[in-house]
Structure 1
Amino acid sequence: MSKISPCLWFNGEAEEAANLYVSLVPDSRITKIQRNPIDGPPGQAGTVLVVEFTLAGQSFMALNGGMKLEHTHAVSFKIDCADQAEVDRLWDALLANGGEPSKCGWLKDRFGVSWQIVPSALPTYLGGSDSAGAKRAMQALLGMVKLDVEGLKRAYEGKSAA
């Protein structure tokens, strides 16, 4: 087990967020829920204080800190996706109920947490041996919101959109 794990700050939504995240990513689960032992900051006795969970084997902690703090793009979580279907599934699920899409495969979920939804083929196109193809793929990526695997491949190969 790693000695380092991210702690995400929430204002009462820690359990809801953790349940969403573990429902989306294989090899994920809630491992522990700790409740407030007393009334007072950050909440009433018996309410959820901490949720420990794993996403794809990585430990996380969600803390109900008792006040609203904003998450930023300065910290994001990248999910490598096997194919376009997985990109689409995760993109849609994380945007549901108030998430915000951004550019280049980034989004903020309804809790304000930033995610990068990235097809595992991306390094093939951006770091491939064809430097002109890599430049075309990068230009294509810069014009995308949700990443499109076929669009990146066509750009890398120098083929126009179908």
Structure 2
Amino acid sequence: MPTIQKITPCLWFDDQAEEAAEFYTGIFKNSRITNISRYGEAGQEIHGRPPGTVMVAAFELEGQAFTALNGGPVFQFNEAISLQIDCESQQEVDHFWEKLSEGGDPNAQQCGWLKDKYGLSWQVIPRVLIEMLGDPDHEKSQRVFQAMLGMKKIDIAELERAYAG
């Protein structure tokens, strides 16, 4: 029997849960769809979905379990919650930025944040940014912060120049 994660984020979609799960698992290397469950006759007066349509797509991204629910248009994603990706290199930043922002909102990109085509917000953050911002040398960390404010996708080389002064 598979191990069940104690806390699993549930992402609410109108009717794109399976499509979104396929999109996300196609971007992250160690990822997979683990289960698809479908609406049946029971509760149709409440959910209004035709029997056989996808209700939930369960998937994993880099070992993190997620549930994608087709719950209807009642709720939409907003920036109050985002998923943060810890990147080790500029190549990794570029990969996730390119793939996740495809079809997304280009006006919702700032300081490493982007909004994907489903409206879900992501933070594509190189680990070195967190380290530089946490530097006890206030002048260095503030230069990095100021440089970051002018970026959409994070540019590690530019952050390093700002850090060096």
**TM-score scaled to structure 1, two decimals?**
0.91
CA distance in 2, matches of 1:145, 1:67: 29
> Number of residues paired by the alignment?
158
CA distance in 1, matches of 2:80, 2:6: 22
Per-residue deviation at 1:99? 3.5
Segments of structure 2 that go 5 or more residues without pairing to the other structure are: none
Per-residue deviation at 1:92? 1.1
Which residue is 1:5 aligned to? Answer: 8
Which residue is 1:37 aligned to? Answer: 40
| Post-superposition CA distance 1:123-148 (Å, at most 9, x none) | 22111243211110011011111111
CA distance in 2, matches of 1:143, 1:42: 46
Of 81, 84, 87, which residue of structure 2 is paired with 1:78? Answer: 84
Which residue is 2:154 aligned to? Answer: 147
Per-residue deviation at 1:28? 1.3
**Distance 1:70-1:157 versus aligned 2 partners, 3 A rule:** same
Which residue is 1:91 aligned to? Answer: 97
Per-residue deviation at 1:68? 4.5
- SS of match in other structure, 1:61: strand
**Distance 1:71-1:155 versus aligned 2 partners, 3 A rule:** same
Segments of structure 1 that go 5 or more residues without pairing to the other structure are: none
Is the counterpart of residue 105 in structure 1 residue 112 in structure 2? Answer: yes
Per-residue deviation at 1:42? 4.5
Is the counterpart of residue 67 in structure 1 residue 73 in structure 2? Answer: yes
**TM-score scaled to structure 2, two decimals?**
0.90
Per-residue deviation at 1:2? 2.4
CA distance in 2, matches of 1:99, 1:85: 22
- SS of match in other structure, 1:141: helix
| Post-superposition CA distance 1:1-50 (Å, at most 9, x none) | 42111100001100111111111112211100001112832411111110
CA distance in 2, matches of 1:144, 1:58: 28
CA distance in 2, matches of 1:83, 1:44: 45
CA distance in 1, matches of 2:114, 2:125: 11
4+ residue segments displaced more than 6 Å: none
Identity of aligned residues (%): 46
